[in-house]
Structure 1
């Protein structure tokens, strides 16, 4: 009942989710990597359009993200990969539910879009939480026969995933949505596995390859279970990020997941060849620094997986919970709520995770290596 009421409010008939973020000239200049004067000069000489102004005060209204990206294009500061760089296809994967997987996907996608990257999010989970946060009602706005991965995964289906790509209200982010129809697909694929394992396992990888030239980063949000879709995601990805909360049950589950994944990948390699990953990292999620048990388990995680743990952690935050309750993210909040200390702390945690993931991604692109060395990061 609560979910239905929420959906009635968020997905009101005829409503369309919009991004209300506006950036002042100082923030825009920082995002573009140029001075405020350089931006104003470009507006004066016509390289950039004059900004919209308030009719009463004659003050600038602020810049949209699309306008900031236009500035980046003019000044040559868009961070896109070079054509010869491989697209980064990262699965945010854990076979256990409730670890913050979808929360991580949507916040990472929006962080990377704010940085100027071209991002595609593929929702492979029939629960469709990621689809809902991006403003689509999975029950109404998404047709499983036309809009999701489902038709592509069938024999004789479309030759590429272009049919399913949707622009979102976030400049720079495209989405392939999901709905409950993907749940039924699991059983169909399992039944066909014995007859044609290579097709089932590699079909998603082929689909990702069919659209990869349009994007810098593709994020895969798989279901929280060891099923055919999850196995397909493991085959399609070239990097893995594993969220794991610091409690005994989730830590044990993650350890089992890693062992299971190792044996699963070995078995998959027998059917379709080995799959290598640019990186596999574990991210501590839902971390509460005030809980001694969390601190103790985090130390244990760092000791057991010293090379695999990310330095940043996704902290447990009421700010994330409150935003999620309204099918939003922390990055799209505006107004007085963004001036609280709680919001600023939460934003700092999310930015730290985003920056670390961004660095891992950039290290996979040879064209970025020179700049990374210049920045002392490689």
Structure 2
């Protein structure tokens, strides 16, 4: 005799939750213990857009404080060291924004949402990787996990189904009023991370409630309406960040539309394969119709960019290369020049809840594979950084 379905599902969920908690203790560093690795002189020079020699001379001349020296007296920099050096060098630089490239007076907060109609397009990996890169480049970055699956949140050492079982996610800041329970300020759910210059608003399964509650809230005229539910909380922290990156769920629901309406730019990830292109076409067709309605109701403003990023791009597959060229011819400058290549280095890092920037380099690593993946990530991140700077009516920063 089969058990009642809801009883079976509840029992399976409890077993799985307990197993995940046990696995977390065995394999995953707890959030309070997860730390960022140190960076070499050459890595820091690339982040600062200076030469290795410039950095070494600045240390020799006493312009920069000493940092930890590892084997062979090689300097190793923490994330805090890099931020401190940025601030010091900006004080005497001809162009302070080379070292502190974030917003200045009059620059609007840049809010980018990463969207796609289906899972598996590296949407979350793209968002968290881009966020970490921009933080290392000196920008104040806020990551918002708007996906009930909360994959982005797990990159920071959290187990959402355990750590946020009682709340503490984006849902609490955008939820509708119900009895004595009301939404909280975004600052109540915002968390600093082990990654300097990078904060997080976690996601969690309760975000799925927003999808089911919105129709009822619309029928009773509750304000603000759904498309302002992310935009309004962001105003509370607008002065604290240069860039906000929102990881949207892989669907065109109320959460995605709320994120889109809050955004100044959109980033759509596309795998150069026929099935994914068909899905992208469907997403754009549906989105255009819905956004037209929202625009007429004040939900959507003007956008700085709607950009496409080719992801999971396998250079060894000729059909992907052909399709990528076809996409570039079709969509033109909207396609970001550098693709996010498919790489075992990125996949292996993801299994350990890390991005390519967090991987400790050792002799056992396939350095060529790592370097190739890193070149791709730095490339598309730099492309997007230029778009952000252009939105502020600034050019790129030059090397010292």
User: Secondary structure, in 3 states, of the residue corresponding to 2:199?
Assistant: strand
Return structure 1 stretches of 4+ with deviation > 4 angstroms: 12-15
* Aligned twin of 1:23: 40
Query: Which of 121, 126, 130 is the aligned partner of 2:152?
Result: 130
Change (3 A) 1:58 1:95: closer
Whether the 8 Å contact between 1:212 and 1:218 is mirrored in structure 2 is: no
SS of the residue aligned with 2:229?
Answer: helix
1:344 aligned residue (363, 366, 371) = 371
Task: Give the structure 2 partner of residue 7 of structure 1.
Answer: 24
Question: What's the CA shift for 1:274?
Answer: 3.8
Query: Gaps spanning 5+ residues in structure 2: where?
Result: 1-15, 91-98
| Alpha-carbon shift at residue 364 of structure 1 (Å) | 0.6
Match in the other structure for 2:59: 40
Structure 2 distance, partners of 1:70, 1:236, is 32
Gaps of 5+ in 1: none
Q: 2:345 aligns with which of 319, 322, 326?
A: 319
Cα distance in 2 between the residues matched to 1:356 and 1:48: 30
- 3-state DSSP class of the match of 1:282? strand
CA distance in 2, matches of 1:267, 1:136: 37
Q: How many residues align?
A: 366
Aligned to 1:91: 113
Per-residue Cα deviation, 1:156-177 (whole angstroms, up to 9, x for no partner): 8456311111111111100000
Instruction: Report the TM-score when normalising by structure 2.
Output: 0.84
**Match of residue 276 from structure 1:** 302
Residues 297-318 of structure 1, C-alpha deviations (whole Å, 9 max, x = no match): 2222123212321111111111
Which one of 159, 180, 189 corresponds to residue 205 of structure 2?
180
Distance in 1 separating the partners of 2:100 and 2:182: 35
Task: Please identify, of 33-42 and 14-23, the stretch whose mean Cα deviation from structure 2 is larger.
Answer: 33-42
- Give the direction of change, closer, same or farther, for the CA distance of 1:33–1:355 in structure 2 (3 Å limit): closer
The answer to whether residue 162 in structure 2 is matched with residue 140 in structure 1 is yes
- Whole-angstrom CA distance in 2 between matches of 1:71 and 1:151: 35
Contact 1:160-1:211 within 8 A present in 2 as well: no
Residue pair 1:149, 1:164 contacting (<8 A) in 2 also: no
Q: How big is the alpha-carbon RMSD for the aligned residues of Structure 1 and Structure 2?
A: 2.6
Partner of 1:358: 385
The residue aligned with 1:169 is: 194
* Alpha-carbon spacing, 1:339–1:171, altered in 2? closer, same or farther (3 Å): farther
Going from structure 1 to structure 2, the CA distance change for 1:53 and 1:302 (only over 3 Å counts) comes to closer
**Does structure 2 retain, via aligned residues, the 8 Å contact 1:142–1:179?**
yes
Q: Which residue of 2 aligns with 1:101?
A: 123
Change (3 A) 1:129 1:232: same
Report if the CA contact (8 A) 1:265-1:275 is conserved: no
Rounded Cα–Cα distance in structure 2 between residues aligned with 1:265 and 1:30 = 40
Any residues of structure 2 matched to 1:177-256 within 5 Å, and which?
177-196=202-221, 199-256=225-282
Aligned in 2, Cα 1:37/1:332: closer, same or farther, shift over 3 Å?
closer
Within a 5 Å distance, the mapping from 1:251-262 to structure 2 comes to 251-262=277-288
Query: Within the alignment, does 1:291 sit opposite 2:317 as a pair?
Result: yes
> Can you list the C-alpha shifts for 1:151-203, whole angstroms capped at 9, x where unaligned?
43333845631111111111110000011111222211233233337522112
Aligned-partner SS, 2:168 = coil
TM-score by length of 1: 0.88
1:265-300: CA deviation from partner (whole Å, max 9, x where unpaired): 111122225421100011111111111221222222
**Match runs of 1:329-340 below 5 Å:** 329-336=355-362, 340=367
| Alignment-derived partner of residue 65 in structure 1 | 79
